[in-house]
Chain A
Amino acid sequence: MSVCDQVVLSPVVVCRSIAVDDLAGVLLLNLFMHFAIKKVIQGWGVSLILLTAVSPFVSFAQKSAAVAAGHKLLGNAASKDTIHPLGDTIHLLQDVSVQAAILPQVLTSIDPVQIVTRDLPQWQDGMNAADMIRYFSGVQLKDYGGVGGLKTVNVRSLGTRHTAVLLDGLPLENAQNGQVDLGRYALSDLGRISLYKNQNSRIFQPATAFASSNAIYLETRADPLDSSRPAKGSLTLQTGSYGLTNASLYGATKWGKHWQLQGSISSLMTRGDYPYTYTNGVYDTTLNRSNGDVKRFQGRVGLYGNFDDSSTFSIVAYGFRRQMGLPGAIVSNKFTNRERQDESDYYLQTAFVKPVTVRDKLKLQFKYNRSYLRYSNPDITKLYIIKGDTIPGPLTNHYRQSSYFFSAANLYKLTKDWEVDLSADIHYDYLNMDLNGQSNPSRWTGYAALASHFDKGRLQLAGNLLYTGVYDHQQISSDWISSDKLSPSLSASWQPFATNAVKIRAFYKKSFQMPTFNDLYLTEYNQTALRPENSEQYNLGLYFYKNWQGVFKTLLLEADVYYNRVKDKIVAIPTTSLFRWQMTNLGLAKIKGLDFTAKTALSLSAWLFEGTLQYTYQDAKDYTAPGSVTYKNILPYIPEHSGSFTFAAYNKHIGFHYSFIYDGQRYSERFNSLVSYVPAWYTHDLSVSYGWQLHEGIKSTLLLSLDNVLNQHYDVIENYPMPGRNFKAGVQFEF
């Protein structure tokens, strides 16, 4: 039986078979590598107990190897595929055909997962990662409007900080607000976005990835190259409403026998002066959004090596620069805001994966990240002490953050069905803020995880135990505060019937999130005393997948019910400026919900039709203080009902796509009332594409899209209006 392990950072997925080896030797090797982290050994002891507990389940699984192998790879992999007319598929498994709509990871994953890849028609229409993530179920996207507006994601109402965002397997160090601004990551640079609720299916990863309740994996675009196509490139030019211009260039080339070079650069500019309307039935005012201009540049170059012993090495350098205005909240009599934000972000990351023995694989990763953000508000004049003189100037804050990250992960195959991973990470973050009289905080965070994945035909079990140690230099008292905790997680999935079309899955996870630098140190006026957030998740799901020959190709149905409990939830409520948030420990929140996804694909003569329906129900309530006015009120910005529907039709040349997103009514504050009521919104988006072979080896595609077709004026976040109807037109060349 082979195990297909997706090697992150390598454009080629390798299927390997690993035979038995000396257990003790490998154990010693593991211990030697991680000797510096004492608590790991303690965790190791606890997890040995965990592993022994899991082993009795081995006897429960009974399945023929053939069916198991078939399931393992793709579901019913025997059927023929339909060739995808647009774009390329990444992460192709060797010798296995790929079904058009459903990716293998979705089928084999224990935990609920949703994946979108570049070849989806709506990918070309999007500007950044948030544009794709909003189609996932269980997700609330907070969007502050326009192209540049802050976009953060909250999965299953746990809060944005509980969703890790990983870029090429490495966690993105939290941006200024402790939340990753998904608006920064251009889709032109990405190849795939996955959302895992719990992450037990991908255990060969840094320990940090296990620290969050959910994880979004952004994977950079990495087109597969082979001898017939040793070099590839693409150029995309796009323009649109409100002065949008977008250009991106991507290239990949083989370099010698073992190496590949990949690079991309992109630039985006927009004026962002879209009109918006506010009315209460009596007054009706239409204005243009001002100070919403954005200039964004990013570039990446990566070198990937694939060697004869199946080891891989990669090194990637990335730079990002963005200058934008912060348009601010629209309030009575004040419709403009002059705050500006200028940020840059650079990182260097390397990864090395080596199969040490036939059973054992080692992954070492290192990342250095440096980010700089300058916020300025010309409407506020402040006194600055420069070289002993007191000089008045516009309020300007500089934030410089440098982070170092090192991770070592070791995947060991105990038996052919059972893999164990031991990962250990160290982060060091340092924040330099130039606020008068404040010293600079720094933090060491160590994560150690022991993860186990057991897969025997119809039954899959996985679990992990994570140890987190945080040493924080607290600027108020100059004492080092430390905290350490253990976070367990368990998942299981079981196919009750021989046809393996139906799967039942469940998971449990306990995790915590430390307050970030911004939570603790950002405010100048007072130091907020925040506690870490603790979350517990329980999920039970049903999954049905079938594919057929003939017109009706595939049907995927997923339904998960869940119960989440968050203690000491830190709630951020935006203030006039996007840059300043009010932070408070909410206390206790209880969330019950249902995520439902249905995906179908049909093929009719040369056309392929795909439809996805996604619906989320959430009952997220504040249980903090019985008797208080906010007790049992719905949490801010959590709609009870939300969902989306997308439909795509395409053949070799033409593609047509329609999507509909709905977000139910919600409340902008902890106290639910007519005053904090934010109406539901829904938008319809349409896009059309036409592709043709321009020349020998050059394929070009014309793309036209119209978003918010019915021109609905709405706010996702109260007082931050969203654009009405807007269009985009673009052309893409691939060679």
Chain B
Amino acid sequence: MYKTILLLLLVLTAIIGCRREVGVIPPETTQVMPAGSYGAGADFYLLNEGNMGSNHCSLDFFDHQQGTYALNIYGSVNPAATLGLGDVGNDIQVYGGKLYVVVNESDKVEVLDKYTAVKLCQISIENCRSLAFWKGKVFITSYKGFVGVVDTLKLQNGAGTVSLDSKITVGREPEGLAVAGDRLYVANSGGYSPPIYDNRVSVIDLPGETVSRSIELDINLGDVQADNYGHIIVSARGDYGAIAPSFFVLNAVTGDLLKHVEIPVGNFTIKDSLMYLFTSPYDYGGGKNQITYETYNLKTLHPANKSFLSDKAAAKIKSPYALAVDPESDKILLSDAGDHISPGSLYWINKDGAVSWQVQTGEIPGHIAFVQ
């Protein structure tokens, strides 16, 4: 009997002897398309938000000349960054020679080198959401009700954790922001207190860093983008029930409301005169779940009546999330977040609305920044 016990103990030790730690996770590179077949275009970074609390925010990189898509590059490029990129990435943009990544639940904005993704330093800011740039300064919205300002000259390699130069108080739970001229337009959502959402756009006079006016639009304002025709487009997300999403076109100079377009926009992006958008299945209780992929002409301020995605391709997509257009070609990038828990997919759409290529991404592929 003792022998049996001893044997069992040995077996036990054998099984438990090793505890495999993962260490630095290497990127997974996929040859999505033959090298050179992409044609003219730009490289880009895709930011996967990651499930909240999982610390799985990740960064992917697409090399358009090689046709390779590298999944999860941050860990191998920056192995010394404590606990990696962080939790819930919310925005990514390129400015100057740097790549800025907003990591919402990690209370920081990572500043990386644009070409190598090597970490230079980070900005400490609580509950950060989106960013915009103006004359060497970066402006970051924080859900705590302010816009943080940092001079980008401070953001050099080795600067460590940089704190904000100043804070501009805006409305409740500001989300997107965009610069037009010397003004910064900030959308306030009020998202922490449904049904008491915020409905204002705060207009900040940039040289003075003060809020010059508040424009009341509709509840739960989300994204703000500027076009080349003197417009500021602001999306309103509704209350996920009776009040439908829509978007507003403002005069970028005066801030006057030019048009309230009642298309229930989910996400949108602008290239030249066209606004590419997909609609949102906003009413979770009701049945308005049909997602359409449309374009809107910003010159004429009318729908362009042209779907950029074929029905066959649209049927593949469960939950569209990120939307971007290659600035140096006409290829459209659309991501599918799937069930928002497992990895999603990224699709390259050509001008006929068909899917040219696709690749598996990380969790919740949310934001794209082109390297230019």
Q: Which A residues are within 8 Å of any B CB, using their own CB?
A: 278, 280-283, 285, 328-334, 379-385, 390, 395, 436-437, 476-477, 524-527, 529, 552, 555, 573-577, 582, 584, 598, 600, 611, 613, 628-630, 641, 643, 645, 660, 662, 665, 668-671, 673-677, 679-682, 718-719
Contacts and interface: CB of A to CB of B under 8 A. Distances in A.
Contacts of B343: 629, 671, 673
- Interface residues of chain A: helix, strand, loop or mixed (majority): loop
Interface string B338-350: 1101110000000
B222 interface: no
Contacts of A390: 196
Contacts of B363: 669, 671
B153 interface: no
In order of increasing CB-CB distance, the 8 nearest A-B pairs are A331-B87, A332-B86, A332-B83, A282-B79, A576-B53, A383-B193, A329-B53, A331-B55
Nearest to A719: B55
A144 to B, nearest CB: 11
B55 A332 contact: yes
A442 B122 CA distance: 49
B315 interface: no
B342 A333 contact: no
A573 B81 CA distance: 26
B82 interface: yes
A671 B342 contact: yes
B81 A332 contact: yes
Interface string B307-350: 00000000000000000000000000000001101110000000
Nearest to B344: A629
B303 interface: no
B55 A436 contact: no
A670 B195 contact: no
Interface stretch (B18-26, B227-235, B254-262, B264-272): B18-26
Given A282-B79, A382-B193, A600-B5, A334 B105 contact: yes
B226 to A, nearest CB: 29
A600 B343 CA distance: 47
Nearest to A643: B12
Contacts of B9: 645
Given A280-B79, A645-B12, A669 B51 contact: yes
6 contacts: A330-B83, A334-B107, A383-B172, A576-B52, A613-B12, A668-B54
Contacts of B64: none
Nearest to B124: A333
Interface in B118-132: 122, 124, 126-127
B198 to A, nearest CB: 9
B12 A719 contact: no
A436 B52 CA distance: 24
Given A331-B87, A333-B83, A555-B1, A280 B53 contact: no
Contacts of A527: 284-285
A380 B107 CA distance: 14
B41 interface: no
Nearest to A665: B20
Contacts of A379: 126-127
B74 to A, nearest CB: 10
Given A383-B196, A526-B284, A677-B22, A332 B103 contact: yes
Contacts of B341: 573, 582, 584, 669-671
A329 B196 contact: no
Interface string B10-31: 0010011011111111000000
Interface string B69-95: 000100100011111111100000000
Contacts, number: 175
B285 A283 contact: no
A674 B83 contact: no
B55 A573 contact: no
A334 B107 CA distance: 7
B284 A332 contact: no
B106 A331 contact: yes
A719 to B, nearest CB: 6
Given A600-B1, A643-B12, 10 more contacts: A280-B24, A333-B107, A334-B106, A379-B126, A436-B196, A437-B194, A527-B284, A577-B53, A676-B54, A719-B54
Contact of A675 (B56, B127, B190): B56
Interface string B187-221: 00010111110000000000000000000000000
A655 B23 CA distance: 41
Given A283-B80, A333-B83, A629 B342 contact: yes
B360 interface: yes
Contacts of A674: 22, 25
Contact of B19 (A282, A437, A680): A680
B225 interface: no
Nearest to B16: A662
Nearest to B25: A674
B38 interface: no
Most chain-A CB neighbours within 10 Å: which of B9, B24, B82, B145?
B82
B55 A437 contact: no
Given A281-B23, A383-B196, A524-B194, A332 B339 contact: no
A383 B189 CA distance: 13
B8 A613 contact: yes
B294 to A, nearest CB: 24
Q: Tell me which of B12, B54, B122 has the highest count of chain A C-beta atoms within 10 A of its own C-beta.
A: B54
Contacts of B285: 476-477, 527
A587 to B, nearest CB: 10
A328 B86 CA distance: 14
Contacts of A333: 82-83, 86, 103, 106-108, 122, 124
B295 interface: no
Nearest to B239: A437
A679 B55 contact: no
B160 to A, nearest CB: 12
A524 B80 CA distance: 38
Contacts of A575: 51-53
B240 interface: yes
Given A332-B87, A526-B240, A681-B19, A283 B196 contact: no
A380 B240 contact: no
Contacts of A331: 53, 55, 83, 86-87, 105-106
A333 B55 CA distance: 10
A658 to B, nearest CB: 12
A385 B195 CA distance: 11
A280 B339 contact: no
Given A575-B51, A575-B52, A576-B53, A629 B360 contact: yes
B246 interface: no
Nearest to B84: A332
Contact of B342 (A525, A630, A677, A679): A630
Contacts of A630: 342
A630 B53 CA distance: 20
Nearest to B79: A282
B24 to A, nearest CB: 5
A138 B83 CA distance: 33
B292 interface: no
A580 to B, nearest CB: 8
B58 interface: yes
B353 interface: no
A675 B58 contact: yes
A676 B56 contact: yes
A645 B16 CA distance: 12
Contacts of B105: 331, 334, 576
A329 B106 CA distance: 11
A582 B51 CA distance: 9
A661 to B, nearest CB: 10
A330 B122 CA distance: 18
Contacts of A718: 54-55
A685 B122 CA distance: 42
B365 interface: no
A329 B80 CA distance: 20
Contacts of A660: 12
A402 to B, nearest CB: 27
